[in-house]
């Protein structure tokens, strides 16, 4: 891989910015300063040091975002800001699955298409857990109906899901393994209730980091990436 491409890929800016870095003699390969942007690198064996720090090659990047309201789960949109705007990195990342514009919470952004497919494919049945608030209290029969499957307004029967909460409360969490359009909102609507707040708190074995305020993000740890792959 060309060194300018490698450095841009590893987050050191645009190709133009990376060229400046090279020109300023800030980059070493195997102990020797490299200034040529076309220098050919073996990403597996060459040791690259930028400003004194080693840069290891990452084939893919993975971020956890606490999605705030008002952002669409897309890479581009003509009307609204996108979740990708919140994670300004020099990689072509995309959101894994979608949260509605008014839904908050755990969203993964990556450039790893295989993992994205694994997490969103209905066949894999990866659990997604949401915290919800409703306009009306939960009733006894809501639990059994969600457990067996709910007939939505378009006649679709949802897969068995889990409702965690108490009869009489207007909040709780729900665990689903599919991701139909507005699924949680439509499930509650079929039970005669309106979701007034929705936040995703878990995908498979990955829990939203409660240190992240809405709009904040961080890279996943190697352990968390493994957890997702095994979810």
Could you tell me the two tokens for 120? 């969103």
Among 19, 185, 199, 202, binds ligand URA (CB under 6 A): 185
Q: Among residues 60 and 80, whose Cβ is nearest to ligand URA? A: 80
Are residues 87 and 217 in contact, defined by beta-carbon separation less than 8 angstroms?
yes
Residue 26 interacting with ligand URA (CB under 6 A): no
Q: Which of 84, 99, 107, 126 binds ligand URA (CB under 6 A)?
A: 99
Strand partners, 187: none
CA distances from 210 to 76, 120, 148, 207 (A): 27, 23, 31, 9
Closest distance to ligand URA from the beta carbon of 51 (Å): 41
Six token digits for residue 3: 């060194």
Cβ-contact 212, 64 below 8 angstroms? yes
Contact region with ligand URA (CB under 6 A), list: 1-9, 97-105, 115-123, 142-150: 97-105
For the purposes of burial, counting CB atoms within 10 Å of the CB of 150, is it exposed (0-12), middle (13-18) or buried (19 or more)?
buried
Nearer to ligand URA, 100 or 219 (CB): 100
Number of residues lying near ligand URA (CB under 6 A): 8
Give the Å distances, CA to CA, from 24 to 11, 41, 89, 205. 17, 19, 22, 44
Length of the chain as a residue count: 231
CA torsion through residues 200, 201, 205, 209, sign: positive
* Position 182 contacts ligand URA (CB under 6 A): yes
Q: Does 67 bind ligand URA (CB under 6 A)?
A: no
Smallest gap from residue 166 Cβ to ligand URA (A): 21
If one asks whether residue 66 binds ligand URA (CB under 6 A), the answer comes out as no
Residue 185 beta carbon to ligand URA: minimum distance, rounded to whole angstroms: 4
198 is an interface residue for ligand URA by CB under 6 A: yes
> At its nearest, how many Å lie between ligand URA and the CB of residue 3?
41
User: Which residues of the chain form contacts with ligand URA (CB under 6 A)?
Assistant: 99-100, 103, 182-185, 198
């Amino acid at each position: 891989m060309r060194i300018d491409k490698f450095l841009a890929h590893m987050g050191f800016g645009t190709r133009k910015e990376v060229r400046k870095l090279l020109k300023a003699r800030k980059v070493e390969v195997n102990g020797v300063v490299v200034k040529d942007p076309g220098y050919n690198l073996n990403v597996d064996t060459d040791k690259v040091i930028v400003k004194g720090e080693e840069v290891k090659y990452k084939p893919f990047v993975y971020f956890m975002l606490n999605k705030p309201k008002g952002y669409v789960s897309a890479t581009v949109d003509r009307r609204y800001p996108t979740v990708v705007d919140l994670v300004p990195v020099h990689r072509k990342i995309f959101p894994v699955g979608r949260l509605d514009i008014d839904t908050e919470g755990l969203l993964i952004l990556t450039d790893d298409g295989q993992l994205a497919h694994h997490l969103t494919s209905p066949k894999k049945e990866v659990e997604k857990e949401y915290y919800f608030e409703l306009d009306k209290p939960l009733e006894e029969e809501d639990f059994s109906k969600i457990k067996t499957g709910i007939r939505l307004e378009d006649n679709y029967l949802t897969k068995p899901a889990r409702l965690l909460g108490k009869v009489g409360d207007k909040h709780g969490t729900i665990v689903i393994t599919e991701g139909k359009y507005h699924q949680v909102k439509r499930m509650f609507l079929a039970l005669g209730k309106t979701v007034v707040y929705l936040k995703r708190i878990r995908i498979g074995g990955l829990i939203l980091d409660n240190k992240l305020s809405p709009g904040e993000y961080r890279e996943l740890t190697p352990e968390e990436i493994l957890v997702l792959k095994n979810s």
